[in-house]
Chain A
Amino acid sequence: MTPDLLIALPLLVPLFTLAVCGVLIRSPRAQLAVSLAGSVLLLTAAIALFCATYDGTVVSTQFGSWHAPFGITFVADLLSAAMVLITGIMAVTVSLYIIVSTEGANGSSSRFHPLYHGLLLGVTGAFLTGDIFTLYICFEVMLISSFGLLVIENTSEQLDGGVKYVTLNLVATALLLMSVGFLYGLTGTLNMADLSRTILTVSNQGLVVTLSVLFLIAFGTKAAAFPLFFWLPAAYPAASIPVMTIFAALLTKVGVYALLRVLTLIFSDQLHVLGPFIGVIAAFTMVTGVLGAASHFDTRRILSFHIISQIGYMLIGLAIATPLAIAGSILYIIHHIVVKANLFLISGAIQQAGGSFDLKALGGLKRREPLLAALFLIPAMSLAGVPPLSGFWAKFVLIQATVQDGAFIIAAIALMVGLLTLYSMVKIWNEAFWKAPPDAARSAGVIGHRIPVSRRWGTLLPMVSLAAITLSIGFFPEPFLGYSVRAAEQLLNPNAYTNAVLGDTTFTALPEIEERMR
């Protein structure tokens, strides 16, 4: 396959699936089939891209065939390809879950599929773009789809969460757009590879530091970092289970990816100034998230707060900014997407089996759903970082990097937060699975509420496959860690990236325009 097609396919597949799903809105069964086929095709395209970039080559293409700093660039390096691959895996998993968990199709699910593929389009676009304005566009595509998905059932709870989610996210994108505009005003280019070179020639480097902070705030809000995370616990618990799963897996991680990309490629000189600052943000994000989770008794809220807490771990990599630390962050993102999506699917299954999300109303599920209990333990223990599961290796690499760098406080906080995460997970285990069902539930007849036998294996299949990924990262960490280290080295030495986009010759904007921008 030509490199153009390799990069274009992960964008074109969701785009066409979106269109076809939109046309088929009145025939839900056909729509469901198209949606699943689209997800599988996306995964296939992602695997092809992953194989093409696996040896470290950076693939790039110019949409519209204009030369690099002028055309719309899309680039895939090791990090982008891995993120697109994991997006494909999540797309297939959630599509499968939707097919098996809904009986036939109801009203809201026919609106779900077009928006769902719109979300995937925005996410893959954000991972692959090499142009900072296109990054903003992809964020908007992702955002508008997520707005629709969040309020899809129109309950008062969803509308309430939607108001807060929409408002805070719109402010963040406005800030992102402003930062993009100022970056253009300062450098005269929007191409990220070109930016990484021209940013060095800006005479007023103080303004560049200011801009990097603006980007940190804008992407930090998207990533739900402290103190900008308030939209997340206000919105996620209201969404339906498949929506919550795909949000938890992808949305905040796009923010973290954008931070990784922009801070290592464009603002690499400013990273050592921002490092300690990001370290403080990371520490507060970890602590506030886990404390929020500890205070709640609703599985959806506990898991939502744990997303925030885990974002803190991913930011540690940027705070330390050594190759090992960035590799730890990348490994953490990959591990977290799989584990978190699985936990949200399981919380949906707990609700199906026990009739509630509230831990106080649940109980006795270990006896009634032993398989579900075992499936819960794998991602839960992995989230807490119990060896030998995937979370252990991700945390191990990060903490090793912090200790090597002498940042013992962050290492200590990370370990303590891991302990508190274990507390939250044990709380869910004790309350939902282990304790006897409460009398109120027994008398209300909720006890008979369980996953129908005919659908049990179908419902559990996506969870089993995600748990299998967690276990394989846990038992064979070497290939995943090696890949993360290579991806981190590529991020910190952006020459391969810029050469792939711009060619070896320095080909900058017209001298006239350059002159005017000064």
Chain B
Amino acid sequence: MELFFAPACGVLLAAAVYLLLSHNLMRIVLGLLLLSNGVNLSLYVAGRMGRVIPPILQEGQAASTAMANPLPQALILTAIVISFALMLFTAVLFERAYRALATLDTNSMREVEPVASTGSRREAA
């Protein structure tokens, strides 16, 4: 199982890095989405996988290695919820930035760090 999922993490993360290197805000937000999913999957793989039974103990029953490890799943659940909220915020922020700055190109978003030769745009205006 790990042999199959480990390359899948790799592919997701590689695609995420490729998209994050772009200058386009749309691609960046998709890259962030893939990044968080790739990381969540790698978290799952790191907790070991295999053909296992649910970790539900009856009274008097002892835990065994045939049972799934519930902790990574709890961790991923937390991480998914957090990344969902952060993704929503990011999408809204990028949309607002697009409306305010009228561009999706990160190279032309220079309000805070104006290009030195032209001086501060704010002062010129």
Instruction: Write the residues of chain A forming the contact surface with B, with a CB cutoff of 8 angstroms.
Output: 133, 137, 140, 143-144, 147, 151, 154-157, 159-164, 166-167, 170-171, 174-175, 177-178, 180-182, 184-185, 190, 233-235, 237-238, 358, 510, 512-513, 515-517
Given contacts A181-B75, A512-B63, A517-B48, contact A157 B112 (CB under 8 A): yes
Contact, CB under 8 Å: A170 / B32: yes
Contact, CB under 8 Å: B82 / A181: no
Q: How far is the CB of A360 from chain B (nearest CB, A)?
A: 9
Contact, CB under 8 Å: A181 / B69: no
Contact, CB under 8 Å: A237 / B90: no
Residue of B48, B97, B110, B120 ringed by the most chain A CB atoms within 10 A: B97
Given contacts A174-B36, A184-B46, A185-B48, contact A160 B109 (CB under 8 A): yes
Contact, CB under 8 Å: A151 / B65: no
Contact, CB under 8 Å: A160 / B110: yes
Which 4 pairs, one residue from A and one from B, show the smallest C-beta to C-beta distance? A185-B46, A181-B43, A160-B111, A156-B100
* B78 at the binding interface (Cβ < 8 Å): yes
Neighbouring B residues of A180 by C-beta, 8 Å: 43, 75
Interface residue from A133, A154, A171, A512 paired with B65 (Cβ < 8 Å):
A512
Given contacts A156-B100, A178-B43, contact A171 B35 (CB under 8 A): yes
Q: From residue 65 to 120 of chain B, which have CB atoms closer than 8 A to chain A? A: 65, 69, 71-72, 75, 78-79, 82, 85-86, 89-90, 93-94, 96-97, 100-101, 106, 109-113, 120
Additional pairs, 11, CB under 8 Å, beyond known A159-B93, A167-B20, A184-B46: A144-B89, A163-B106, A167-B28, A167-B32, A170-B32, A171-B32, A181-B46, A181-B47, A185-B45, A510-B63, A515-B65
Instruction: Write the residues of chain B forming the contact surface with A, with a CB cutoff of 8 angstroms.
Output: 20, 25, 28, 32, 35-36, 39-40, 42-43, 45-48, 63-65, 69, 71-72, 75, 78-79, 82, 85-86, 89-90, 93-94, 96-97, 100-101, 106, 109-113, 120, 122-123
Neighbouring A residues of B46 by C-beta, 8 Å: 181-182, 184-185
> Could you tell me the distance between the alpha carbons of A453 and B120 in the complex, rounded to whole angstroms?
32
Neighbouring A residues of B45 by C-beta, 8 Å: 185
> Could you tell me the distance between the alpha carbons of A237 and B36 in the complex, rounded to whole angstroms?
28
Contact, CB under 8 Å: B39 / A174: yes
Can you spell out 9 A-B residue pairs with CB atoms less than 8 angstroms apart?
A137-B82, A140-B82, A144-B89, A157-B111, A159-B111, A166-B90, A178-B43, A184-B75, A238-B112
When C-beta atoms are compared, the residue in chain B nearest to A143 turns out to be B86
Contact, CB under 8 Å: B75 / A163: no
Q: How far is the CB of A514 from chain B (nearest CB, A)?
A: 10
> Could you tell me the distance between the alpha carbons of A357 and B64 in the complex, rounded to whole angstroms?
65
Neighbouring B residues of A174 by C-beta, 8 Å: 32, 35-36, 39
Neighbouring A residues of B86 by C-beta, 8 Å: 140, 143-144, 170
Contact, CB under 8 Å: A159 / B96: yes
Q: How far is the CB of B123 from chain A (nearest CB, A)?
A: 8
Interface residue from B78, B89, B94, B111 paired with A161 (Cβ < 8 Å):
B111
Contact, CB under 8 Å: A160 / B28: no
